[in-house]
Amino acid sequence: MKLEACNVVVRFGGVVAVDDVSVALAPGRIVSVVGPNGSGKSTLFNAITGLVPMAQGEVRIDGRSLLDLPMNKRVRRGISRTFQTPRFDPDMTVRETVLCGYFPLRRTGLLAVCLQTSAARREAAEMHDRCDALLESFGLAAYARTPMSDLPIGQIRLVDVARAAAAQPQYLLLDEPAAGLTTAEQTMLSNEVRRVAASGVGVLLVEHNFELVCQLAEHLIVLERGRMLLEGTPDVVSADPFFRRAYLGVTEELEGAAA
């Protein structure tokens, strides 16, 4: 069982944004895609989730192709994601926003909801209970009735991750979830990502905070100008001289001075 993106190529006109990149994500693992701005990280996410078409390549879950499935049906197949820029209705409360994440799990139809059948009421109560527990675990319970427009960006990102996790995905794709978070919020996010992974969910993470990446991820994939530069464990990748120069900005002179 795994999510596989194989030999992905994405072109925008004559520009190759992702060039022959492959990623495999098993349940319970945390894999991170890192690289400088413009290296194709978010575009890779968009290709996996069906937001942009691929010129070449394949996306599979447990061996079954997703290429013919639109984005909403890929969600139902077990993929959930956040975006680099969170998308939300500013007039909705935090609780309402996270509740939207449960929509793919609904078993009762629209007619049952409109008629408020016993099954629809029971399902709604279950989702509200799950939502409240999720808000508590993300430290957002005190903001449940707060409009999204009143939140700082760090808490908006936490709500975005909570909404994505609400869908109970098999595979969770997080695009720069820690951007704008305080140190305390980053710790809370890290704990939740680990908890989600420990429950058997595969987590694919794009994040510029390399220290956070090394704390969370078991395997790193480094992109440079749309191509895979190298991959390996955090220790292997962080020790690579080219990666240290291109991504961390560490030069031989700085290393010598530090020594």
Q: How far apart are CA 248 and CA 36, in angstroms?
A: 9
Q: How far apart are CA 173 and CA 253, in angstroms?
A: 37
Q: According to the model, what pLDDT value does residue 37 have?
A: 86
Residues 6+ away with beta carbon under 8 Å from 72: 104
Q: According to the model, what pLDDT value does residue 248 have?
A: 66
The alpha helices in the chain, defined as continuous H runs, are 41-49, 71-76, 94-100, 110-115, 118-137, 153-166, 183-198, 210-216, 234-239, 241-246, 252-258
Q: How far apart are CA 44 and CA 19, in angstroms?
A: 10
| Nearest residue to 41 (alpha-carbon basis) of 152, 156, 179, 144 | 179
Q: How far apart are CA 205 and CA 82, in angstroms?
A: 10
Look-up: residue for tokens 């809370």?
188
Q: What is the pLDDT along the chain (259 residues), one digit of tens a residue?
A: 799 999 999 999 989 999 999 999 999 999 999 988 889 999 999 999 999 999 999 999 999 999 999 988 898 899 999 998 888 999 999 999 999 888 776 666 666 667 677 776 776 778 888 899 989 988 899 999 999 999 988 889 899 999 999 888 999 999 999 988 888 889 888 988 999 999 999 999 999 888 899 999 999 999 999 999 899 999 999 888 888 876 766 555 444 444 4
Does the domain at 3-258 match CATH 3.40.50.300? Answer given as: yes
Domain locations in the chain as residue ranges: 3-258
Compute CA distances 254 → 208, 242, 247, whole Å: 21, 14, 14
At 5, the amino acid letter reads A
